[in-house]
Amino acid sequence: MTAKRQLGLAMVGVGVGGTEMLPAMEAMSELKLVAGCDTNEDTLNQFSTRYGAKGYGDYDQMLADPEVEAVWVSTPNRFHAEHSIKAMEAGKHVVVEKPMALNLDDAKKMVETAEKMGVKFLAGHTRSFTPPVRSMWKIIQSGRIGRVRAINTFAYTDWMLRPRTAEELDPRQGGGLPMRQLPHQIDSVRLLGGGMVKSVRGATGEWMPERPIAGYYTAFLEFEDGTTSLVCHNGYGYAMAAEFVTWGHDRQRYTAEERVAVRQQMIDGNRDEASDKQALRIGGLQEHEIFKAENDDVWVPEDLGLLVVTCERGDIRHGPNGLILYDNEGTHNIDLGIDRAMGPGFRRAELEELYDAVVDDKPIFHTGAWGVATLEVVLGIIQSGSEHREIEMQHQVPVHERYGEARNFSSAI
């Protein structure tokens, strides 16, 4: 059997997002991690030493590297459009983390640039790529429990207590819970509902003086076919959604005791956030301790939250090892046989979609146009909260007709 060729991959923005993503890149033999670019010299040195890859402090120099075929963009939100477009104009394929951009004009320019340059462009929204969400989609498509009618997800997390940089605390730069976490939920909800959101109504909440950003949102979505969705995330770190399942616990990034201590430090104004943030990056003291919880053998609600899909003849939700399906015959626990070696948060699926598109010319399912549609919903919810009115959608696209051909579907369904 002929070995598949390796795709030369680089990352711009080797921060906390990189810490989560790099193990999955390393574990995928079809990829060769050739370079990284970051302005943090310590982080860049740790990256180069660990992965044997070239480290660049200058993005243009990295893009000039002929070994770099594709770029994973995980820089601060305000740079997503600029860095993606630069890579495309250099002839590189691109995966951009959420949010795709800060506004629809920039997002549409990203799509136009990819088409003009003839490169592959993938909107990497993470959670919709996971085996449980994809398996929910597969059950819906089978018609086993009828048509989907409602998709509800709610998250209670410690997101607002995690260390933040200055740009993460500035809504003008894409800071705040709605811009940074709504894309995960909306992308998953849109996938399960078929993609075509008709309108949204939402509200946001900024309740913590120590954090000048929204730490709460709630929204109601209606799809063109009448399917509805309730989406909610409270990131203030009191109740934890992981406690809401019978097999759960009260820890997410922090234990209950750690949350009390962190909150008090923030109130007192003596928290060293720069050090706490650095500790989460590659080589940091908390790198493995924090992120290993996201790779536990048993699933508990995390930033996506507890997701429940209601169809005409049953419900589906996350289970400890896959899914729990409720139908007219009873309750069924579906073990998806999830391979935790796929990397944190099952991030390998995004890489597989990129590789298959570049090397084997297979479809991109999470296209730039799909990313624009998800961003439109996110921005619509924020706008709705500000203007106290329903917002109609104009840029929605349906789920790709060949989505069922994607990798990472469990054989258990």
Report the distance separating Cα 323 and Cα 409, nearest Å: 13
The pLDDT value recorded for residue 306 is: 95
CA 383 to each of CA 214, 234, 250, 371: distance values in angstroms, whole numbers, following the listed order = 13, 19, 33, 18
Dihedral angle of Cα 295, 299, 305, 306, to the nearest 10 degrees: 170
Of 169, 127, 125, give the one whose Cα is nearest residue 277. Answer: 169
Fold of domain 7-127+345-367:
Rossmann fold (3.40.50)
Cβ-based burial of 66 (10 A; exposed 0-12, middle 13-18, buried ≥19)? exposed
Confidence of residue 177 (pLDDT cuts 50, 70, 90): very high
Q: What's the token pair of residue 319?
A: 């289970």
Give every CB contact of residue 25 below 8 A, 6+ residues apart in sequence: 9, 11, 31, 33, 72, 343, 351
Please state the separation of Cα 179 from the chain's center in Å.
11
Q: Are strands 121-124 and 93-97 parallel, antiparallel or unpaired?
A: parallel
pLDDT more than 90, % of the chain: 76
SS3 string, the chain, reads CCCCCCEEEEEECCCHHHHHHHHHHHHCCCEEEEEEECCCHHHHHHHHHHHCCEEECCHHHHHCCCCCCEEEECCCHHHHHHHHHHHHHCCCEEEEECCCCCCHHHHHHHHHHHHHHCCCEEEECCHHHCHHHHHHHHHHHHCCCCCEEEEEEEEECCHHHCCCCCHHHCHHHCCCHHHHHHHHHHHHHHHHHCCCEEEEEEEEECCCCCCCCCCEEEEEEEECCCCEEEEEEECCCCCCHHHHCCCCCCCCCCCHHHHHHHHHHHHHCCCCHHHHHHHHCCCCCCHHHHHHHHHCCCCCCCCCCEEEEEECCEEEEEECCEEEEEECCEEEEEECCCCHHHCHHHCHHHHHHHHHHHHHCCCCCCCHHHHHHHHHHHHHHHHHHHHCCCEECCCCCCCCCCHHHCCCCCCCC
The better pLDDT of the pair 341, 372 is held by 372
Tokens 């992120």 — which residue? Answer: 291
Domain boundaries, the chain: 7-127+345-367, 131-268+295-336+371-405
With a cut of 80, say whether residue 391 has pLDDT above it: yes
With a cut of 80, say whether residue 163 has pLDDT above it: yes
Q: What is the mean pLDDT of residues 227-247?
A: 96
Q: What is the mean pLDDT of residues 180-197?
A: 97
Please compute, for residue 373, the number of CA atoms within 13 A of its CA located in the half-sphere on the CB side.
23
Q: What's the token pair of residue 233?
A: 């995330």
With a cut of 80, say whether residue 155 has pLDDT above it: yes
Report the amino acid identity of residue 130.
Answer: T
Report the distance separating Cα 400 and Cα 229, nearest Å: 20
Report the distance separating Cα 123 and Cα 125, nearest Å: 6
CB 345 within 8 A of CB 292: no
The pLDDT value recorded for residue 91 is: 98
The pLDDT value recorded for residue 23 is: 84
Interval 53-97: pLDDT, tens: 999 999 999 999 999 999 999 999 999 999 999 999 999 999 999
Domain 7-127+345-367 and domain 131-268+295-336+371-405, same fold? Reply is no
With a cut of 50, say whether residue 344 has pLDDT above it: no
Confidence of residue 341 (pLDDT cuts 50, 70, 90): very low
Q: How long, in residues, is the chain?
A: 413
> What phi and psi values does residue 171 have, to the nearest 5 degrees?
-55, -30
Looking at domain 131-268+295-336+371-405, what is its CATH homologous superfamily? Dihydrodipicolinate Reductase; domain 2 (3.30.360.10)
CB 298 within 8 A of CB 320: yes
Q: Specify the pTM.
A: 0.94
The better pLDDT of the pair 279, 241 is held by 241
Mean pLDDT, the chain, integer:
91
